[in-house]
Structure 1
Amino acid sequence: MKETKRNQIQAVLFKDHDLILVENDVFNISGRIEEYDKDMFIVFNKRKKAFEIHSLEYAPMIASPKDTFQTTIPYKELDIRTLHHVYDNDIKVHGRKIFERIERQEELNEKQKQRDYKNWLRAVASETKSMFAKDAWL
């Protein structure tokens, strides 16, 4: 890692003591991430106990580590799955697909919410119908 990049990263991480820069790992994932995108780097978040990908792409505008955050790695260790996760969720590569996937999921969630509401209405209607039927015979 170049000294200028390391200095920029340290300046960002100085503001959040829970983030530890990962420069070396068993499978050289940190080096491969840097090969994939020269601005990306990996940190370990002690508070969340998880690895995160951050980027210095907008370095002149960076005010805090929140500004560099890209994604949380959903795995406990750094391995090839990390590279796949980063690539699959890279908005520069898959921007349109990611937004379409989000929109599809939101549509499915909305349909499920409507279905649940209709089912609830039917349940309430059948419950009150039997109650009214009992009262009508009295």
Structure 2
Amino acid sequence: MQREAERQQRAKLRQQQQALAQAAKAAAQAQKAYEKAANLEAKERAKLYEQSRLAEVHLQNERLEETITSLQNLLKDTLSLDTAIDLQSLKQPFNEPAFQPGNLASIEPPPPPPFFPPEPRGLQKNVPGAKERHAQEVL
């Protein structure tokens, strides 16, 4: 009986170890599957990004080609048009306002002649410093 119990216990232990090993193996497989899916998703994202960038470049190249074509045809297109400008049609007539002289309309009287003291004559001429005094009064 005791042998039978030991045998059953060993069998149970083996089953537990096998279950544990299978669980570890399943976990490792799940981890590998997750990593593989993550790598595939990263590759897919990179591929989609590359495709979107290529589409954007293609669109920009088309726009650039259109711009280049329009610039190349610009001179041809404008030479065929009559681009003469009538400058007379752009001028606006000048309406000169009537002259308003204001205070300038009345004539002011001329200023009185300046008063200068007479030059020293006779004996005054001989007084020392008379010429200098007269020069200072005139200024």
TM-score range, shorter chain: 0.3 to 0.5
The structure carrying a bigger strand percent of its residues is 1
The structure carrying a bigger helix percent of its residues is 2
TM-score by length of 1: 0.33
TM-score by length of 2: 0.33
Ranked by relative contact order (alpha carbons within 8 Å, sequence separation 6 or more), the top structure is: 1
Pair member with larger Rg? 2
